[in-house]
Amino acid sequence: MFYNMSMDMFVALSDPTRRAILEILASNGELSATAIYEYFSVSPQAISQHLKALREAKLVVMEKRAQKHLYRLNQETLSQFEVWVQQTRQRWEERFSALDIVLEREKQKLARDEQESRLENTMGKVLFGLSVSLDGFIADKNDGVSEVFAWMGSAMEHFFEVAGEQLNETGAVIMGHRSFDQIYSEQGWVMPDGTPIPGPVIVLQSQAREPVKKGQTHFHFVTDGIESAIAKAKELAGEKNVGLHGASSVQQALQAGLLDELHMSIAHVLLGEGVRLFDHLDPSPIHLEHIRTLETPGATHLSFRVMK
């Protein structure tokens, strides 16, 4: 019907000579075949073929008067064609409007994703770096750590290669109350050789307590869980990383899906019993992406990214 007729129109209008004939009729209203021939340098037979194609497409009508064949535009068909064009334009405008909405949504989503990416890049990661025995203990049954840190004695020259970036890029540390009791002193948190470990420490515990500064260490106490502790640590750390110290904080962060990376120095020793690093976890697998392996005397150092 009209759809097919419209396709015939497009076929007829594909030829420039036929379009020229329509323009001539639009300007003159009605012309004989002979008068139309005079506008073109091609033969009258060729123009007659074009006129026939235009009649079959119902773009022009021919009326015979006396000895003349008079041609004029078919207003009815052109009116229908105009309606079709308007309807088609409206459909495409609606489609383009819908596409604009989709593109705007995608643009806004991209902007949000970029903002989140910038925030992720400007905010540090949540990670831990701990020494652990081959059978998974960070301390023996008496809380002794000499065995899991024995590798440092023979590989101290590799220490900053192993942990230097973690130390330099960590802006706050979270630990449980048990670890806090082990490291707390009037000098704050210090290394075995007396070197102070500066920066804020967030302690997970059940009893509320005011912040306190000892030596170069600011201690803050959180009573409402690992999520609040990590939020507080990120606030204090700024763009730096948040470190976890001790098994309890690591396990809680893993359970909450808040751990980003883990760095373990696997000491070449089996303890058999003690404080297990990965304990009290859900049975659901936690998938990891391998980042690095480093060998030093007495230990193998493994780094992984937590897949989320």
Describe the crossing of helices 44-56 and 16-28 by its angle, rounded to 10 degrees: 80
pLDDT classification of 172: cutoffs 50, 70, 90: very high
* Distance in angstroms (rounded) separating the CA atoms of residues 192 and 37: 108
pLDDT classification of 1: cutoffs 50, 70, 90: very low
Q: How do beta strands 68-73 and 60-65 pair?
A: antiparallel
Which of residues 198 and 214 earns the better pLDDT score? 214
CATH tag for 2-73 (out of 3.40.50.2000, 1.10.10.10, 3.40.630.10, 2.60.130.10):
1.10.10.10
CATH superfamily ID and name for 124-306: Dihydrofolate Reductase, subunit A (3.40.430.10)
What are residue 253's DSSP bridge partners? none
Domain boundaries, the chain: 2-73, 124-306
Query: Is it the case that residue 6 has pLDDT exceeding 70?
Result: no
* Distance in angstroms (rounded) separating the CA atoms of residues 194 and 140: 23
Describe the crossing of helices 2-13 and 44-56 by its angle, rounded to 10 degrees: 160
What's the whole-number mean pLDDT along residues 250-260?
94
Please measure the distance between the N-terminal and C-terminal CA atoms of the chain and give it in whole angstroms.
58
Query: Is it the case that residue 20 has pLDDT exceeding 70?
Result: yes
Predicted confidence (pLDDT) per residue in 69-116, tens digit? 899 999 888 888 788 778 888 989 999 999 999 998 888 888 877 766
* Distance in angstroms (rounded) separating the CA atoms of residues 152 and 123: 31
